[in-house]
Chain A
Amino acid sequence: MTASPPRPGERLLAGYVGLVLLFLALPVLIVIPLAFSTDASLIFPPRGFSLKWFANILERPEFASAFRVSATVAVVATSISLVVGTLAALAFVRYRFPGRDTLLLVFMTPLIFPAIVLAAALALVLSPLGLLRSIAGLVCAHVVLTLPYMLRTAIATLSEIDRSLEEAAQTLGANRWRTFRHVTLPLLRPGLLAGITFSLIISFDEFTVSMFLVGPGLMTLPLEMYNYSEFTLDPTLAAISTILLGLTTIAIVVIEKLVGLGRQFS
């Protein structure tokens, strides 16, 4: 029994990685060469090699600031989603309580709702709270958006964990917390990593909802790029995309490595 079937977290991640790669592959072939082009107009194939578009990013502080906003929002929203999603998954999988199915559906609605409806709704809720045009407001919105992904992967992984493993830990002297810490959590890890990846990318990439919540002085990177493209359509955007592509690839490779290590556990 050396080759046991992959756990759902891993399967999800593998499938996800495959999809992401496919999705990325085509535009990548065009975007990366363009980023190093000498021409200001988007000509393919490029006629020379230069790094001036990367230099241009550095010359424009609004990109760096937007990147910081997006990264902060992605990391904070993902952290909150991770904690809330894991705890909620534990409740959904381990307990049967009245209203369970309804509540689960409520958690999942952002997946089905049209983004624009959600955007308007969030703006209407956050505005009276004074959270419009604030990082906190963006974080709130992104938690709502990323939670379903986190919850879904956590529930899938958790329901595959044999209950008797936790019971065995308890008979061996582990109280609830230590059982979670030493048995449940390590087994949940691949699923949570998949959820984290989903969540970070969903948040970083988010456009529609963020558009309602940003304003002068507070821009996310996708919106900043969009603003820029309204006035100038040069390879600067390709350069930014190339950087993001690099970061995403590194993140996925690192997580693959971590989960790859986890694979020999099963």
Chain B
Amino acid sequence: MVDQIRGEPVGVELTRVAKSYGAVPAVRGVSLAIEPGEIVSLLGPSGCGKTTTLRIVAGLERPDAGEIRIGRALVNTLPPWKRNIGMVFQSYALFPHMTVAENVAFGLRMRGVAGATMDQEVAAALAQVRLGGFGERRPSELSGGQRQRVALARAIVTRPSVLLLDEPLAALDRQLRESMQIEIREIQRAVGITAIFVTHDQEEALTLSDRVVVMEDGRIVQSGTPAEIYERPRTRFVSDFVGFSNVLDGRVAEGGRELGTVTLTAGRLVPVSLAPDIAPGDEVDVVVRPEKVWVAAAHEAVPTAGHAFPGTITHSVYMGALTYHHVAVEGVGRVVAMVPNVEPATSGTLAVGSAVLVGWRPESALAFRRNDPGARAAS
């Protein structure tokens, strides 16, 4: 058994874990240390090995190589029922022949908890997911969001050492998903549990996690706080995966330090931030997120010192809270800038056709080598 003081979170550590299904490698050498009480999300495209990694931690899949530790214990050969984990499946996997209360009570019964204690804990867990009074229903009589919450209650009622969630929100509509994200986060904090959360939704990963682990092709490509992953993606793949960017191609003019310049194919010299292994002369893609690009009417003062490029707004997409302006910039190309609608968008200072200046801070423009193998998933 994984030794654990009830309510005391434990860490999880994977060391060079690998798993193939026949000839298909699903996970190839994943090393990952998760701190006690941390909520980590595994983010990546379909088929990158997220579920497999989670199932290996759960004990539902046995790795071909590597070590898995929960707490201090090596659990490689420990079956799932001895790992003291809680798992929420993508399909929820609620037992159809049991009521909601019986579903939640299942883990307690397996641990020999019965009678009034069991009833109390079940009621408390259902209250925690705001499903008090639903105990006598069948899973088939619940909505998707309610089923999801039952699955969550069932997974946490036993106070597991680790909570594993496999895209639990994928089937829910946007609004419900967002409120469930907050709920999961709050419950995870309240229970003080270590959690691993699988998702292919970058927004979900950023909002929900202490740390985001981006996977590609069975490997971890980057692991860091949501801000690190978003602001300082290490590869083009990570950059593309965690949000839309402008991509401008060019050649490094000046580099060697962290900041440098790139001569764009379109002609202009722009300031950029360079990955460490990039040298002058390298072909690069310069990646700039829309919210990092400022736009100002041509007659206005330039917001920050540095480069400002003249351009013309070709069209604008109004999104309520913000507007995306597509700007044709001479010697650069088309640049999309995201502008929060601080003033009413109807005020018209940034109308289609108007001459504007655009620019960005050098550290916001990341240059990645063009033939970076990670670049193939370009958006």
User: Taking beta carbons and an 8 Å cutoff, which residues of A are in contact with B?
Assistant: 1-2, 4, 162, 164-165, 167-175, 178, 182-183, 186-187, 262, 264-266
Contact = CB atoms under 8 A, between A and B. Distances in A.
B89 A168 contact: yes
Nearest to B90: A164
B80 interface: yes
A4 B140 contact: yes
Closest 5 CB pairs of A and B: A173-B110, A172-B107, A168-B93, A265-B97, A164-B93
7 contacts: A162-B91, A165-B95, A167-B80, A167-B89, A169-B106, A170-B79, A182-B106
B86 A183 contact: no
Given A171-B60, A262-B97, A265-B138, 11 more contacts: A2-B141, A4-B140, A164-B89, A167-B87, A168-B94, A171-B58, A171-B81, A172-B81, A173-B110, A174-B110, A178-B110
Nearest to A183: B95
A170 B60 contact: yes
Nearest to A189: B97
B79 to A, nearest CB: 7
A262 B140 CA distance: 13
Contacts of B79: 170, 175
Nearest to A171: B87
A264 to B, nearest CB: 7
Interface centre among A2, A164, A175 (most CB of B within 10 A): A164
Nearest to A185: B97
Contacts of A265: 96-97, 138
Contacts of A175: 79, 81
Nearest to A4: B140
**Interface size range on B against A:** 20 to 34
B369 interface: no
Nearest to A163: B93
B93 A165 contact: yes
A184 B155 CA distance: 19
A209 to B, nearest CB: 37
B312 interface: no
B87 A168 contact: yes
A1 B87 CA distance: 24
Contacts of B154: 168, 172
Contacts of A168: 87, 89, 93-95, 154
Contacts of B58: 167, 171
A258 B60 CA distance: 34
Contacts of A183: 95
Interface of B: 58-60, 79-81, 83-87, 89, 91, 93-97, 106-107, 110-111, 138, 140-141, 154-155, 158, 164
A157 to B, nearest CB: 13
A25 B102 CA distance: 43
B93 A162 contact: yes
A171 B164 CA distance: 10
A168 to B, nearest CB: 4
Contacts of A162: 91, 93
Nearest to A164: B93
A172 B164 CA distance: 12
Interface centre among A168, A265, A266 (most CB of B within 10 A): A168
A200 B60 CA distance: 39
A171 B110 contact: no
A34 to B, nearest CB: 45
Contacts of B141: 2
A187 B91 contact: no
A183 B107 CA distance: 12
A85 B138 CA distance: 30
A204 B141 CA distance: 41
B140 A1 contact: yes
A260 to B, nearest CB: 14
B102 to A, nearest CB: 10
Contacts of B110: 172-174, 178
B96 A266 contact: yes
A187 to B, nearest CB: 6
A186 B99 CA distance: 13
Contact of B85 (A2, A171, A178, A187): A171
A170 B93 contact: no
A98 to B, nearest CB: 15
A171 B97 contact: no
A176 to B, nearest CB: 8
A173 B81 contact: yes
B371 to A, nearest CB: 41
A264 B138 contact: yes
Contacts of A169: 95, 106
B300 to A, nearest CB: 56
Contacts of B87: 167-168, 171
Contacts of A187: 96-97
Contacts of B106: 169, 172, 174, 182
Nearest to A170: B80
Contacts of B155: 171-172
A172 B79 CA distance: 11
Given A173-B158, A175-B81, A183-B95, A266 B140 contact: yes
A164 B87 CA distance: 11
B276 to A, nearest CB: 42
A172 B158 contact: yes
Contacts of A173: 81, 84, 107, 110-111, 158
Contacts of A171: 58-60, 80-81, 83, 85-87, 155, 164
A88 B172 CA distance: 39
B138 A167 contact: no
B86 to A, nearest CB: 7
Contacts of A174: 81, 106, 110
